[in-house]
Chains A and B, each alone.
Chain A
């Protein structure tokens, strides 16, 4: 079974401070990991995927298969980063359905 856990419901940081959102998963096969973001009054959208190994809006995430984690990090948070962040897991073997974590709300204070 696929399972994604985001232990923090809320992260509050000051502008310019680092932010790290934790994501742990359980899956026995080869997972694909994603971070989705939902800004206020906007639809859910893909932020980044582990396969691409890219940095989007200053965010990076590294897949650690040993620790089954896919934490999202940004060294200097900006006010526009305030949003809901969801970690999600998928696999082609499981038909590409997305399994989401419960989400973390990030609040960046000025």
Chain B
């Protein structure tokens, strides 16, 4: 099991463009959460997907949207990119009902907005 995988590793976009980031959860996991980590800060929760629906959302604008597919993989979409969207985007997977609420993280996608 490769664990949580994310693609691409790095991405460079310009202001106003749109971007899609992808995540495959750890085998056996059914829940995917997305986090934004700006330089020098801790990760901030964006939203969480379970059963192909957005279950929770953090304090992020509607420009941030997502999707979960039947195989539990997920996408994060960001429209109308701003310079401030430059960050490391982390995906984490977990299993609903697990004894411990452990989330497993992917390596992240580094997004640079110019």
A→B interface (CB under 8 Å): 4, 6, 32, 36, 43-46, 49, 51-52, 86, 88, 90, 92, 94-103
A-B contact pairs, 15 of them (CB 8 A): A4-B42, A44-B105, A46-B103, A49-B100, A49-B102, A51-B100, A95-B48, A95-B55, A96-B31, A97-B56, A98-B43, A100-B43, A100-B44, A102-B41, A103-B41
B→A interface (CB under 8 Å): 3-4, 31, 33, 35, 40-45, 48, 55-56, 58, 90, 92, 94, 100-108
Residues of B within 8 A of A102 (CB): 40-42
Q: State whether A44 and B101 are in contact (beta carbons under 8 Å apart), knowing that A97-B48, A100-B44 are contacts in the complex.
A: no
- Tell me what chain A mostly uses at the interface: helix, strand, loop, or mixed: loop
* Contact yes or no, B108 A43, CB < 8 A: yes
* Contact yes or no, B56 A103, CB < 8 A: no
Residues of A within 8 A of B101 (CB): 32, 90, 92, 96
Residues of A within 8 A of B56 (CB): 94-95, 97
* Contact yes or no, A97 B45, CB < 8 A: yes
Alpha-carbon gap, A20 to B90, bound state (A): 27
Minimum distance in angstroms from A10 CB to a CB of chain B: 11
Minimum distance in angstroms from B105 CB to a CB of chain A: 4
* Contact yes or no, B100 A98, CB < 8 A: no
* Contact yes or no, A97 B33, CB < 8 A: yes
Select one of B33, B48, B58, B106 contacting A43, CB under 8 A: B106
* Contact yes or no, B102 A46, CB < 8 A: yes
